[in-house]
Chain A
Amino acid sequence: MSNSYASYVRRMRNVEPTKDERRALMMALSNERRAVEAGRSGRAGQPSRAGLVRAAVTRRAVAAVAAVAVVALVAGVVGTMVGAPGASGPAGAVGPVLAAYADGTQLGDGAMLLPANFGSSVSWSQGDDGSYHFDFNVDLSLAERRYRDITYTVDGGDATLKFLQSREGVSAGDTLADYEGVTTFTLSDATIAGTYVLSVDVPQDEIDAITDDPLADSAEVCALAARKLAGTRIRITATDSSGAKTSLCFELNPVDDFAERYARIEKHFQEDGETDGASLFTMRIVE
């Protein structure tokens, strides 16, 4: 080692967390332990959770949750704006039509180009086994609020669903509709607001094949994950206000130039804090 690097190493080894930082860490662990144990016991004053609970305890985690909450809020507003009760849903389809589909732009091949916010918020992480896990925030709320007993099911493919009910308006003792890593779940009615996520895993060797720096090439990496979602079919079965049970199946596909569009969105967001309105997915009704 050069003398310069050796002196740097000596200085770096002197860096230690302070007593306050150690105390703060132990307190955070203690708080997390209490939160988890309280969640298990379902004690009074704590909302019980139907699915997996992930407590947000760090400043960063809190911020990330807030970002998701914004997405959920937007989804809720979209759901409120589109669609009025009627015999047939938007775009002429009969049954529980997705708000994103109803809000899309008709393409020549009969598919809908979905609104820009559909799937544009992607988070991903690498697991202990090296594989990558991707979460695409997608708005799967219905265009019409007259439905109840809405069952979402992924037909085939490797994607799984996540739904986290919005905490707004939830009272102590309420049961929250939270699901994670499932291929089907049911909401009691269409007014339940929340965050929908489509998740998919990508083996490490597939990521390694396209880049040795996934962080720098995040657009390519996300495009690879999006291609894993190609052809994913989401079946929605619901009961309308007259008691009739209907079903529609939607097939999802990423746009051909997903990587380029995603890179533009990311760049635009970093510069201005806004997305640039580029759509990333198309959808068609297949049954």
Chain B
Amino acid sequence: MFTRNEELRSEDFMEAAVAAHHGAVFRLALNQTGNRADAQDVTQEVFIKLMKSFTAFRDADHLRAWLLRVTINQCRDLARQAWKRRVDVSAEPVVRPDAAQDEVLDAVVEHPVWSALRTLKETDRAVLHLRYVEELTIPEIADALSCKQVTVRTRLRRARLKLRRAMEDAGGVRGGASVGVTDGIGGLQ
């Protein structure tokens, strides 16, 4: 299914890719950028890159890993360019979410873990998000983040520790409760 013969990927391919992965790309972009408007922009740019890319995908998992990797890179690009983007010529209005999605997003943003996550580096947020929200395996995360599996494990341990400390500082975790240090999910140490 995920192969490429034309100069631009076909409309059928793109519709299938958007249907299957729009949510994951958007959530990761939201996790990285922290706001819906930037997440919309990043998501759009990621799928445009997909439409123009020459990568031959082995399967849907390969496509997902590619999309998530490009999303991470796109979010980094956005942050790097922020100081140059003070010239504001906003051309397209942000697509407003409906009321139901407003509530869903509010529920996330108001959660104490969201605030604690904002104090972490982008790489730490990404590895936690991919592991627990998107439920990727260690090899899949390594593929998405373009790093070794041992690096993913190290980053996960470090990120969980930082998150726990951030939540302790904010008063969100008490009595030695932990964020994943002893969770055993996926056999993590």
Contacts and interface: CB of A to CB of B under 8 A. Distances in A.
Interface of A: 1-5, 7-9, 11-22, 24-26, 28-29, 32-33, 36-37, 40, 57-64, 66-67, 70, 121, 123-128, 130, 204, 212-216, 218, 266, 269-270, 273
Contact of A24 (B27, B95, B173): B95
Consensus secondary structure, chain A interface: helix
B58 interface: no
Given A16-B26, A63-B87, 11 more contacts: A1-B185, A8-B112, A8-B114, A12-B31, A12-B133, A59-B94, A63-B90, A64-B85, A66-B87, A204-B146, A266-B83
3 cross-chain pairs, A with B, having the tightest CB-CB distances, nearest first: A8-B113, A66-B89, A62-B91
B114 A4 contact: no
Contacts, number: 180
Interface string B72-103: 01001111110111111111101111100100
Interface in B125-140: 129, 132-133
Given A1-B185, A26-B15, A18 B101 contact: yes
A253 B28 CA distance: 40
Most A CB contacts (10 A, CB to CB) among B15, B70, B107 go to: B107
Given A4-B113, A67-B87, A216 B97 contact: no
A215 B44 contact: no
A29 to B, nearest CB: 6
A152 to B, nearest CB: 24
A36 B52 contact: yes
Chain B interface residue number, banded: 35 or more
A32 B52 CA distance: 10
Most A CB contacts (10 A, CB to CB) among B78, B84, B95, B146 go to: B84
